[in-house]
Amino acid sequence: QYDLSIKLRDATTQVNQRLRTLDAVLEQLKQIERVVREHMADSANILIPAIESEIKSVEEMMARLATPPPSENLGYRGNAQIVEQLAMLFTSIQGVNAGPTQPQIESLNKLVPTATALSTQIGLELTERITKLNLLLSKFKAPTLVIRSVK
């Protein structure tokens, strides 16, 4: 029970750190968009579409890790994403005074590598996209994004 809980905790921590990074990038993008709109009207027609595209991309990355908000059309939440699946499995293992069941062990053995791979993939994708955007922003002397390295 302890060993499985530690594995789940580590995977959950990695995914949550990635979500915090994405959230910080999203805030920076919105701030840069405001600065460009208010103070850089001459280059806004080039930069704003690129920034808006990155905002959408970051929101999609966040949705791949965490459940997106309820749909405006139907009002239902989407399926549980990786962070919710990790939390549910952690609770089911820690919630009883017994060893984990075989299905829980099998679920963990599939879920943890999936979470790690997805988090790593999103990290690489984010770094690549932000690098390209920063090149464009710096060409127009606009503020650039700073992302904190997350394992």
Decide which of 73 and 99 is more confident: 99
Query: Is 65 in contact with 83 (CB distance < 8 Å)?
Result: yes
Q: With cut-offs at 50, 70 and 90, classify the pLDDT of residue 73.
A: very low
Report the pLDDT value the prediction gives residue 96, as an integer from 0 to 100.
80
User: Does residue 45 carry a pLDDT above 80?
Assistant: yes
Q: Is the confidence at residue 12, as pLDDT, over 70? A: yes
* Nearest-angstrom CA–CA distance, 46 and 131: 17
Q: Report the alpha-carbon angle 43-48-49, nearest 5.
A: 120
| H helices present in the chain, as ranges | 2-39, 41-65, 82-94, 102-139
- d(C-alpha 25, C-alpha 87), whole Å: 24
3-17, 35-49, 67-81, 87-101: least confidently modelled range: 67-81
Q: 140 falls in which pLDDT band (50, 70, 90)?
A: very high
